[in-house]
Amino acid sequence: MSDTPSATAELKLPKDLAAEKGLVNVQIDGVWHQFPKGTRMIEACRQAQVTVPHYCYHPKLSSPGNCRMCLVQMGMPPRPAPGQEPQRDENGYEIIGWMPRPVIACANTIGENMGIRTTGDLVTKCREGVMEFLLINHPLDCPICDQAGECRLQEQSVQFGRGVSRFIDMKVKKPKNVDIGPRIRLDDERCIMCSRCIRFMDEVAGDPVLGFTQRGTHTTLTVHPDRLLDSNYSLNTADICPVGALTSNDFRFQMRVWFLKETPTIDVNCGTGTNINVWTRGNKIHRITPRLNDEVNSAWMPDSHRLNFHYIDSASRLTEPLAKTAANHSATTWSAALAEAASRIKAVPAAQVAIIASGRMTNEELFLARTLAAEIGTTQLSLVPRTAEADALLVAADRNPNTTGAKLVLETEDPYAKLDSIREGVRNGSIKTLIVLGEDLITDAGFTADDLQKLDFLVQSSVLANPTADQAHLVLPSAAFAEKRGSMVNLSGRLQRLNRVVELTGQAHDDWEILRDLILALTGEKNEVHHIEDIFKAIAESIPAFNGLTLSKIGHQGTQIAETGYQIPLLANERARKAAGLING
């Protein structure tokens, strides 16, 4: 064969072909794959859809390699003697020389022409051995352990465990049921010393209060003396704990996880729009956990947001439309309430009507609020700002989850701008009718009960009983975040979807239906909007950022629709650590 360039190209070896793309060839269980240089072996196996059991490894944390569960057999081509050509198989890969001892897959990176075996005698024996060691001191109190059902130790002892113990000595006694923080309970006997929680508190939460004391089988996870595990991110340690050593006080003994159904949706407590799974049994929410989204919240969420769901089935929940008769409110029907609202709104000139909507409303609801304002003919439409201190991780200063969405849907730069003028209008009597959607004006918007008494007509839609509702002539029960579908845009411009997790309580209606029915009561037209998809379609047609989208196209990971320049601090940290090679991401 001649040495023309095309001929040499044909002769290129797999290693050269891979190197052109910055990749390396790795054989996993007999199949060749290509991965970027520097990938950890366990990550390469995951991408090749080969399971490597592990406890201590977490893609978002550093790899200390201390659980030894991910042992695999590794092979490299033998180093040729001087002058010797490496031996190659018919595809051009060098012949792998398998090492007699296993290596941990989580802390070793792949190399060119490396071989990994995740099956076979050596690996199986290693896994059985590691499992036997881990179970020596494990209390096996699965019947009372909250982790049962989602416990890695349980799952892997089914796969690799012996079934009976050969250990005849007493198990090591360690502290049980330790109160280490306001939201977390520690059981040291269950701990398998994977150190995930220690690394999380150190590397992600930036509050390194956890650590090991003692040595050998007496190694004990403890909180620093005089300190508590009271970080606002402490409950993430319960999520990543592969066993039941760290469990949530809030969820403690509430329900076994195998009864729970998880529904993906998003958090509405701040502008970050953390992706969450809501775990329910029947119509009751039992817990909320973060859902992986590398563009929003990574794998974490703050405790304050996670625990803010108990109000949904609390005693102060509004369950039927209320009309003010004399001093008290009494229950009424939806049709009567809406007819009353429409006639009272129509009774006054449009300039005397104002709408106060909420930054907690979905795009669809805001779009209908805008339609309602247009129908009435008023320009007085504002949202209520809600700010609090931001932390340097996930909690944003803007506690309204849909400020960006409001800017897009209402087509205004500052959706909060008119609140002051509306408040002034109410005080000086130029506004006589106020429609309040999901906001408590007295607590959050600087109104007083006296201000509201000046109004001729006040209608409020709300989830819970509140001081503003006491003043309202008409109170309409609406849906909590877990009870509705819709979309929101987070601070970084990502369009995300809320999914209905539980059914509505009592007579409460979905917010968009309340708005639609109110608009219909005003116009007297026949209803043509039956699904929330229809409203999203209208948004997609009229607002450029939403063009071409539908609710189902948003997907569970969201869709970037705007560039706001907002950077979620936790993601910046994570990307820096990934770039430095500390984590796999």
Partner 1 sequence: MAVVKLQRPKLNFGEKIYFGALIKGFFLTMTHAVKSLLGKSAGAESLASSGLGVTMQFPEQRWDDHLPEYYRGAPALVTDEQGRERCVSCQLCEFICPPKAIKITPMEIPSDDPWAKVEKRPLEFDIDMTRCIYCGMCEEVCPEQAIYLRKDYLFAGFSRAEMVHDKKRLYEIGGVRVGLVNKWNELK
The token pair that represents 488 in the structure block: 């929101």
- Going by their DSSP bridges, the two strands 210-213 and 433-437 should be labelled as unpaired
Counting contacts by CB under 8 A, is residue 165 touching partner 1? Answer: no
Counting contacts by CB under 8 A, is residue 138 touching partner 1? Answer: no
Q: What's the closest the beta carbon of residue 256 comes to partner 1, in angstroms?
A: 5
CA gap 144, 480 in Å, rounded: 32
Q: What's the closest the beta carbon of residue 394 comes to partner 1, in angstroms?
A: 30
Nearer to partner 1, 218 or 252 (CB): 252
Strand partners, 76: 97
Q: What's the closest the beta carbon of residue 215 comes to partner 1, in angstroms?
A: 25
Nearer to partner 1, 86 or 282 (CB): 282
What residue type is 200 in one-letter code? F
Counting contacts by CB under 8 A, is residue 259 touching partner 1? Answer: yes
Nearer to partner 1, 140 or 582 (CB): 140
Within 13 A of 564's CA, how many CA atoms are on the CB side? 22
Local structure of 76: helix, strand or coil? strand
E strands, 314-413, are: 322-325, 328-331, 353-357, 381-383
Count of residues interacting with partner 1 (CB under 8 A): 14
Q: Which stretch binds partner 1 (CB under 8 A): 19-27, 136-144, 205-213, 268-276?
A: 136-144
Q: Could you give the residue ranges of the DSSP H alpha helices within 104-189?
A: 121-136, 152-160
Site string for partner 1, 168-197 (x = CB under 8 A): --------xx--------------------
CA gap 464, 111 in Å, rounded: 59
Nearer to partner 1, 17 or 148 (CB): 148
Q: Which stretch binds partner 1 (CB under 8 A): 100-108, 141-149, 462-470, 502-510?
A: 141-149
- Interface pick for partner 1 out of 49, 121, 166, 258 (rule CB under 8 A): 258
**Within 262-321, which residues bind partner 1 (CB under 8 A)?**
none
The token pair that represents 224 in the structure block: 């620093």
- Interface pick for partner 1 out of 227, 252, 261, 284 (rule CB under 8 A): 252
Counting contacts by CB under 8 A, is residue 143 touching partner 1? Answer: yes
Residue 202 burial by Cβ neighbours in a 10 Å radius (0-12, 13-18, 19+): middle
Q: What's the closest the beta carbon of residue 143 comes to partner 1, in angstroms?
A: 4
Counting contacts by CB under 8 A, is residue 144 touching partner 1? Answer: yes
CA gap 436, 445 in Å, rounded: 11
CA gap 175, 335 in Å, rounded: 61
269: Cβ–Cβ under 8 A, 6 or more apart, which residues? 304, 305, 308, 399, 401
Q: What's the closest the beta carbon of residue 175 comes to partner 1, in angstroms?
A: 12
Site of interaction with partner 1 (CB under 8 A)? 141-144, 148, 176-177, 252-256, 258-259
